[in-house]
Amino acid sequence: TGLGLSIAKKIIEMQRGRISVRSIEGEGSVFTITVTYHIPTDKEIKSLQKVTQKHKLMPENMAVLLVDDEPFNLALATVIFNKHNVKNACVASAAEAMEKFSNHTYDIVFADLHMPEEDGFSFAKKLRKVFPNLPIIALTANVMHNEDGLISASGFSDILMKPYKEQDFIKMMSKWVHVQSEAGEKTTPDTIQQPLSANGELYSLEEIKLFTADDPQLTASVVQSFIESNKTSMDMLYHHLSENNITGINNTAHKMLPGYNHFKVHALVPILKRLEIAKTCDDEMGHEYMTIKTVSGKIFDALDLEIQKLEAQLLV
């Protein structure tokens, strides 16, 4: 499409450089880039090394999501993230960003305020309902006189002004990831405490095997159905939470409860019961969703192994 070359040209020109091309039909093209750099002194090099060491204090597994409808901004952010070995997803719309959250967990989110279809204000509001403690940073070239209060009211944690420098971006990530770490508020699948069932296990197949007369094939089929059905329900629950749809939340929790009861998932049944009868949405639901998602993920993985064992019995 030529888009990559256009973005490269902009990045080079931002550094007061130039790019030229020599092309011969049938043979290929040679691109030449000329950029002038200041040769640093020993003092400047040592100062830079100190800054680099400071940035290494960021968690190695930090994951960042950035939303911006401008391709150039996405490309530039990707370059910065990759340079600092930060796991990242850069998407062009709020809808794509919400979809990412159905399968991934992020430590910090950057969102452009002014995007077509759905702007950053609306996106931040939806995200804040599901993730009360997630750092959400607004990206904007200017703050209008009527937007300052709206940015805070929408759930944004901070503002990063465009055009931003690489160090501004890194400092913002360091600031908020460190704040989350020190406060002990970071909510990821690895940090949520895993509540267990009454017998010390996340689930039990005892009741399921009674229904199937301990038939391996039938049991495997029921287990597979439970996994598939509730993965879909998890997506629906996330969607209803982001839309503040209490009726949808009630109905989805109601649908999930029988299966979780049969599998004796005592850690999640009380949460699902609360969601089933809740009259209004509240901040606690975001934490509860993350608990349901995390524990269910562990259970689904374990049940996949159970299916493999059951299928192996059929081969004997």
Q: Is residue 297 part of a domain?
A: yes
Phi, psi at 203, each rounded to 5°: -155, 175
Q: What type of residue is 228?
A: E
pTM strictly above 0.95: no
Same domain, 244 and 138: no
Q: 212 and 254 share a domain?
A: yes
More confident residue, 242 or 165: 242
Residue 58 pLDDT: 57
Residues 18 and 109 in one domain: no
Confidence bin at 110 (pLDDT 50/70/90): very high
119 plus 151 within the same structural domain: yes
Section 88-111 average pLDDT: 89
DSSP string for 70-120: -HHHHHHHHHHHHHTT-EEEEESSHHHHHHHTTT---SEEEEES--SSS-H
- Is there a domain that residue 245 lies in? yes
CATH no. for residue 70? 3.40.50.2300
Residues 89, 16 within the same domain: no
Q: With 50 as the cut, is the pLDDT of residue 31 above it?
A: yes
The answer on 90 and 148 residing in a single domain is yes
Q: In this structure, is residue 241 part of a structural domain?
A: yes
Residue 197 domain flag: no
The region of weakest confidence among 46-55, 72-81, 83-92, 246-255 is 46-55
Q: Is residue 201 part of a domain?
A: no
pLDDT at residue 93 above 70?
yes
- Report whether the peptide linkage leading into residue 71 is cis, meaning its omega lies within 30 degrees of zero: no
Mean pLDDT of 287-296: 88
Cα distances (Å, whole numbers) of residue 273 to 131, 167, 233, 242, 267? 21, 47, 15, 19, 11
Q: For residue 60, what are its two tokens?
A: 């190695």
231, 160: one domain = no
Average of pLDDT values for 256-261?
87
Answer whether 114's CB lies under 8 Å from 94's CB. Answer: no
- The reply to whether 265 and 275 lie within a common domain is yes
In this prediction, residue 208 has a pLDDT band, given cuts at 50, 70 and 90, of: confident
Q: Is the pLDDT assigned to residue 187 strictly greater than 50? A: no
Specify if 191 maps to a domain: no
- Residues 29, 111: one domain? no
Closest by Cα among 287, 260, 284 to 272: 260
Query: For residue range 223-241, what is the model confidence (pLDDT) as tens digits?
Result: 998 998 899 999 999 999 8
User: Do 161 and 140 meet the contact criterion of CB atoms below 8 Å apart?
Assistant: yes
Residues 289 and 255 in one domain: yes
Query: Are 166 and 52 within one domain?
Result: yes
The count of structural domains within the chain is 3
Domain around 77: 39-183
Strands 63-67 and 28-34: unpaired
Top-confidence range, 135-144, 157-166, 283-292, 294-303:
294-303
pLDDT reading at 131 higher than 50: yes
Mean pLDDT over 261-270 rounds to 89
Model pLDDT, residue 147: 54
The pLDDT-based confidence of 51 (bands split at 50, 70, 90) is low
User: Cα separation of 123 and 133, whole Å?
Assistant: 15
Look at residue 155 and tell me if it is in a domain.
yes
Residue 147 belongs to some domain of the structure: yes
d(CA 84, CA 215): 53
CA 195-197-198 angle, 5° bins: 120
Q: Which two tokens stand for residue 255?
A: 């649908």
Strand, coil or helix: what is 137? Answer: strand
For 21, the 3-state DSSP assignment is strand
The answer to whether residues 10 and 138 belong to one domain is: no
CA dihedral (98, 100, 104, 105) in degrees, to 10, reads -40
What distance lies between CA 53 and its chain's CA centroid?
Answer: 26
Rounded to whole angstroms, the Cα distance separating 309 from 316 reads 11
Q: How close are the terminal C-alpha atoms of the chain, in Å?
A: 56
Which residues have a Cβ under 8 Å from the Cβ of 99 and sit 6 or more positions away? none
